[in-house]
Amino acid sequence: MSLSVRSLLLAGASALLLTSAASAQETTAPAARESTAFTLATDQPRTPEQEAVRFDKADLSIRVLPEQKAIDAVAVLDFTALSPVSVLPVELDTRFEISFVAVDGTTLDAADWRNDEGRLWIQLGRDLAQGDTVSIRIAYAGQPREAPRAPWNGGFVWGTAPTGEPWIATSVQPEGCDLFWPCIDNPFGEPGRVDLHITVPSNLAAPSNGRFLGKQDHGDGWTTWNWSAANPNTYAIALNIGPYEEMTAQYESRFGNTIPLSYWYLRSDDPAKVRALFAEFAPMMDFYESTVGPFPFGDEKMGVVGTPHLGMEHQTINAYGNDYRLDGKGYDWLLHHELAHEWFGNQLTNANADDMWLHEGLGSYMQPLYLRWLHGERYFQAELLEQRNDLINRFPVVSGERRSEDQVYQGDVGPGLDIYNKGSLIAHSLRMLVGDEAFFRSVTRLVYGRPDPQPGNFTTRHASTDDFLAIVNEEAGRDLTWFFRGYLYQAALPDLRETRENGRLRLEWVTGDGAAFPMPIEVEVNGERTTVPMTGGRGEIAVGERAHVLIDPDSKVLRQLDFIEIWKGRQPR
């Protein structure tokens, strides 16, 4: 469909939003109710009815009212039945007043839908058979949740730019998409496409996900910005509104395609700092494409937008709020980490939050790898050491049970920061064990579902820790269940016990669950290195009485180190 025809179709929805918003400005917005516990707990299990449909498309027309800290929106949700279904729930925060719900163009009576705790149940009015389609239209308005501490505690951020204009962003990973649009708040609830029509004051810009489809100035101080994104991660849909300017370039990919680069920055930003940050885009893209594979959304854009919060991996429009800070490493760590999530999070999405280390751990391992790419081995090892010193080891990285994001990210009940640092160090130990070829092929297969990704031959996918283990086993040609069990499913690090007597050095691995851990270990004796096989978790070699012995001289293996435990104020085991 051409943009001009599409604009005509959008005019009706825009007119509705403009009319309702105009009346909304004439009155004071009522105090918003609180979001329910259900709404604030993302990654909810899907209901049988949600599993019975495919989410084909969401068309979201959202007018943002900065002075009221409110939105006025119409969502059109299209589904295809995979099995018979007659009622369909979607998630939407109860803070919003719903003015009508329509199914296939017919407005429902109020008795035909309800939104009790943030799960909006809709009677479809007929029994859908397999292959049938249905279109649901929902009009809603109100004050969305204001983020207490974005991005860690999310919602809308209603900020002010240095030049005085509104500066607004959404960041909803911990709570989910239902904070501002009706969705299926589950990783498997990803729609095939989301079209966004964001109406804002005309002196502001509204960069968002996917491809830009043009903007419409309504001539009354309001402009609608139109975007379209394929297969977006649900929490990655983002509104960004402010006095932005755009810097653009074209990246010539090593895979033969040309990818638009786009940076939306505040008009008040230092031009030199803007240019310096933008200059980092292409080298980072080249690193990721050479290390993992093709940029997953090359037919849309690699986009970044300045935000009043620190950052978040919003697909093709990553939030950046690091304020151009330098830290002596020669690159912007936040820009690089959020870009990692285009591969680990948006292209590959974990099956459940319990597998979140696949996003954060593998994404975090990209930082030391990039430092080696830029500056060499010293910087690579320095970054790994920094991650090692930050380990907590209070909860396992993976529990083996279904978890919500809060149960994973909150360090008092789950692994917290260990999914970043420990996940990265586990990835490094795995690479040192199986070798570069098997490791990087495993990562590529995990991300794309195939070993030979090229633009156009893959789509977004979901995977679990068990899926990664199966891939690693194939690539390494051996069963590495012991490795995953010993590192990921135990809070305690494997402990290498050593005794030395009668000219022999005896080594034994002790794990959190007492299972065998046959991790080979390199030992340096008087400058000469040998690898001890550690069959069954035990091994020994001959050493001279006064020989200098150094265990794991290149720090290839993640393990408990007593001197770090003492430094942390913990008792060694």
Q: Judge if 83 and 230 occupy the same domain.
A: yes
Residue 285 domain boundaries: 252-487
Q: Judge if 66 and 161 occupy the same domain.
A: yes
Residue 375 in domain: yes
Contacts 24+ apart (CB under 8 A), 413-421: 415/357, 416/392, 417/390, 417/392, 418/391, 418/392, 418/393, 418/394, 419/356, 419/357, 419/359, 419/360, 419/361, 420/360, 420/361, 420/363, 420/364, 420/387, 421/364, 421/387, 421/388, 421/390, 421/391
Is 1 exposed, middle or buried (CB count within 10 Å of its CB: 0-12, 13-18, 19+)?
Answer: exposed
Mean pLDDT of 14-39: 57
Identify which of 98, 107, 110, 12 has the alpha carbon closest to the alpha carbon of residue 61.
Answer: 12
With a cut of 70, say whether residue 17 has pLDDT above it: no
Q: Which of 63-67, 379-383, 407-411 has the lowest mean pLDDT?
A: 407-411
Q: Judge if 386 and 519 occupy the same domain.
A: no
Residue 330 in domain: yes
Sequence-distant (≥ 6) Cβ neighbours of residue 511 within 8 angstroms: 485, 486, 490, 492, 494, 495, 517, 537
Mean pLDDT of 352-372: 98
**Mean pLDDT score of the chain, rounded to an integer?**
94
Res 23: pLDDT: 39
Q: Judge if 369 and 410 occupy the same domain.
A: yes
Residue 304 in domain: yes
Res 31: pLDDT: 57
pLDDT grade for 11, boundaries at 50, 70 and 90? very low
Look up the CATH number of the domain holding residue 60: 2.60.40.1730
Q: Judge if 219 and 275 occupy the same domain.
A: no
Which two three-digit tokens encode residue 273? 């700092």
With a cut of 70, say whether residue 16 has pLDDT above it: no
With a cut of 80, say whether residue 18 has pLDDT above it: no
Sequence-ordered strand ranges (E) for 301-346:
302-306, 311-312, 318-320
With a cut of 80, say whether residue 75 has pLDDT above it: yes
Mean pLDDT of 76-99: 98
Residue 4 in domain: no
Q: Judge if 263 and 296 occupy the same domain.
A: yes
User: Using one digit for the tens of pLDDT, what is the confidence trace for 444-456?
Assistant: 999 999 999 999 9
User: Using one digit for the tens of pLDDT, what is the confidence trace for 391-433?
Assistant: 999 999 999 999 999 999 999 999 999 999 999 999 999 999 9
pTM for the model: 0.93
User: Using one digit for the tens of pLDDT, what is the confidence trace for 533-563?
Assistant: 999 999 999 998 899 999 999 999 999 999 9
Domain end residue (candidates: 452, 487, 522)? 487
Q: Judge if 478 and 504 occupy the same domain.
A: no
Residue 572 in domain: no
Q: How many domains does the chain have?
A: 3
Residue 573 in domain: no
pLDDT grade for 47, boundaries at 50, 70 and 90? very high
User: Using one digit for the tens of pLDDT, what is the confidence trace for 449-492?
Assistant: 999 999 999 999 999 999 999 999 999 999 999 999 999 999 99
Determine the length of the chain. Answer: 573
Res 571: pLDDT: 80
With a cut of 90, say whether residue 524 has pLDDT above it: yes
Q: Judge if 228 and 372 occupy the same domain.
A: no
Look up the CATH number of the domain holding residue 553: 2.60.40
Domain end residue (candidates: 187, 213, 242)? 242
The percentage of the chain sitting over the pLDDT mark of 90, rounded to a whole number, equals 92
Residue 2 in domain: no
Q: Judge if 418 and 363 occupy the same domain.
A: yes
With a cut of 70, say whether residue 184 has pLDDT above it: yes
With a cut of 50, say whether residue 230 has pLDDT above it: yes
Res 10: pLDDT: 36
With a cut of 60, say whether residue 356 has pLDDT above it: yes
Distances (CA, A) of 560 to 20, 496, 497, 555, 570: 61, 7, 10, 12, 12
Look up the CATH number of the domain holding residue 371: 1.10.390.10
Residue 42's CB is within 10 A of a number of other CB atoms, namely 24
Q: Judge if 431 and 499 occupy the same domain.
A: no
Domain end residue (candidates: 191, 214, 242)? 242
Q: Judge if 193 and 290 occupy the same domain.
A: no
Phi, psi of 291 (to 5 degrees): -90, -40
Res 12: pLDDT: 39
Q: Judge if 202 and 175 occupy the same domain.
A: yes
With a cut of 80, say whether residue 302 has pLDDT above it: yes
Residue 247 in domain: no
Dist. CA 36–CA 118, nearest whole Å: 7
